[in-house]
Structure 1
Amino acid sequence: MSENRAVRLSARQFLDLVADPGTFTGLPDPARASAPDGPLGWRGYDASRARAAERTGERESVVVGTACVEGTPAVLIVFEFGYLGGSLGERTGDRLEAAYRHAREHRLPVVPLVATGGSRMQEGMLALSQLQRVARQSALTREAGLPQIAVVRDPTTGGGWATLGAGADVILALPGAQVGFAGSRVRPPDADPAAYTAHAQVAAGSADAVVPLEELRAALGLWLRLLTGPVSAPAAPPDALGAAGLPETGWQAVQRARSPRRPRARAYLDAWFGDRRVALVGDRCGGADPAGMLCGFGERDGHAVAFAAQTGTATRPAGFRTATRLIRLADRLGIPVLTLVDTPGAANDAEAERQGVGAAIAELFGAVAAARTPITTLVVGEGGSGGALALAAPGNTWATPDSYFSVIAPELAAAILKRPPEEVEATAGQLRIRPQDLVELGVVRGIAGHSRP
Structure 2
Amino acid sequence: MNPLGWPGYAAQLERARERTGSAESVSWRRDEDAVVITFDFRFLGGSVGTATGALIEEAFTDAYAYRLPVVSLIATGGSRMQEGMLSLRQLQRVARLCAAHREAGLPHVSVLRDPTTGGLWASLGASADVVVAVSGAQVGFAGSRVRPDPRPDPAYTAEGQFAAGTVDLVVSPGEVDATVARLLDLLTGGDAVHAEVPYALGADDLPTDGWSAVGRARAGDRPRAPAYLDDYFDHRMPISGDRAGGVDPGMLCGIGKRGTRSIAYAAQTGTATTPAGFRTASRLIRLAERLALPVLTLVDTPGAANDAAAERAGVGAAIAELFGVVAEARVPITTLVVGEGGSGGALALSSPEHTWITPDAYFSVIAPELAAAILKRDDVRVLADELHLRPQDLLELGVVKGIAER
Q: 1:272 aligns with which of 232, 236, 241?
A: 232
- 2:264 and 2:154 mapped to 1: Cα distance? 32
More deviation in 183-192 or 198-207?
A: 183-192
Aligned 8 A contact 1:253 1:434 in 2: yes
**Structure 1 residues 190 and 177, CA, compared in 2 at 3 Å: closer, same or farther?**
closer
Stretches (4+) displaced over 6 A? none
1:183-262 superposed matches below 5 A: 183-189=143-149, 193-231=153-191, 233-262=193-222
- 1:302 and 1:432 mapped to 2: Cα distance? 39
**Structure 1 residues 191 and 366, CA, compared in 2 at 3 Å: closer, same or farther?**
farther
CA drift of 1:215 comes to 1.4
Q: 2:255 aligns with which of 297, 307, 332?
A: 297
- 1:190 and 1:132 mapped to 2: Cα distance? 28
Is 1:43 aligned with 2:7? yes
In structure 1, the partner of 2:319 is 361
- 1:42 and 1:440 mapped to 2: Cα distance? 76
In structure 1, the partner of 2:23 is 59
In structure 2, the partner of 1:6 is none
In structure 1, the partner of 2:391 is 435
CA drift of 1:432 comes to 0.1
1:4-83 superposed matches below 5 A: 34=1, 38-68=2-32, 73-83=33-43
1:21-420 superposed matches below 5 A: 34=1, 38-68=2-32, 73-189=33-149, 193-231=153-191, 233-274=193-234, 276-290=235-249, 292-420=250-378
CA drift of 1:232 comes to 5.6
CA drift of 1:301 comes to 1.4
Unaligned segments of structure 2, at least 5 residues? none
- 2:149 and 2:280 mapped to 1: Cα distance? 33
TM-score, normalization by structure 1: 0.89
User: What letter is aligned with 2:321?
Assistant: E
Percent of aligned pairs sharing the same letter: 65
| Cα deviation 1:377-418 (Å, max 9, x = unaligned) | 000000000000000000100000000000000011111111
- 1:271 and 1:395 mapped to 2: Cα distance? 24
Aligned 8 A contact 1:232 1:303 in 2: no
SS of residue in 2 equivalent to 1:444: coil
- 2:296 and 2:318 mapped to 1: Cα distance? 19
TM-score, normalization by structure 2: 0.99
**Structure 1 residues 411 and 205, CA, compared in 2 at 3 Å: closer, same or farther?**
same
CA drift of 1:230 comes to 4.7
SS of residue in 2 equivalent to 1:306: strand
- 1:63 and 1:231 mapped to 2: Cα distance? 33
CA drift of 1:229 comes to 2.1
| Cα deviation 1:201-232 (Å, max 9, x = unaligned) | 00000000111111111111000001012526
- 2:116 and 2:262 mapped to 1: Cα distance? 30
- 2:289 and 2:328 mapped to 1: Cα distance? 9
User: What letter is aligned with 2:34?
Assistant: A
User: What letter is aligned with 2:369?
Assistant: E
More deviation in 231-240 or 247-256?
A: 231-240
CA drift of 1:189 comes to 2.1
| Cα deviation 1:252-291 (Å, max 9, x = unaligned) | 10000000010000000000014x100000000000012x
Is 1:449 aligned with 2:373? no
SS of residue in 1 equivalent to 2:19: helix
CA drift of 1:192 comes to 5.3
- 2:206 and 2:382 mapped to 1: Cα distance? 18
**Structure 1 residues 412 and 230, CA, compared in 2 at 3 Å: closer, same or farther?**
closer
Unaligned segments of structure 1, at least 5 residues? 1-33
Aligned 8 A contact 1:232 1:304 in 2: no
User: What letter is aligned with 2:100?
Assistant: L
| Cα deviation 1:313-334 (Å, max 9, x = unaligned) | 0011101000000000000100
| Cα deviation 1:1-32 (Å, max 9, x = unaligned) | xxxxxxxxxxxxxxxxxxxxxxxxxxxxxxxx
SS of residue in 2 equivalent to 1:115: strand
User: What letter is aligned with 2:237?
Assistant: V
User: What letter is aligned with 1:367?
Assistant: V
Aligned 8 A contact 2:190 2:292 in 1: no
CA drift of 1:293 comes to 0.3
Aligned CA-pair RMSD: 1.0
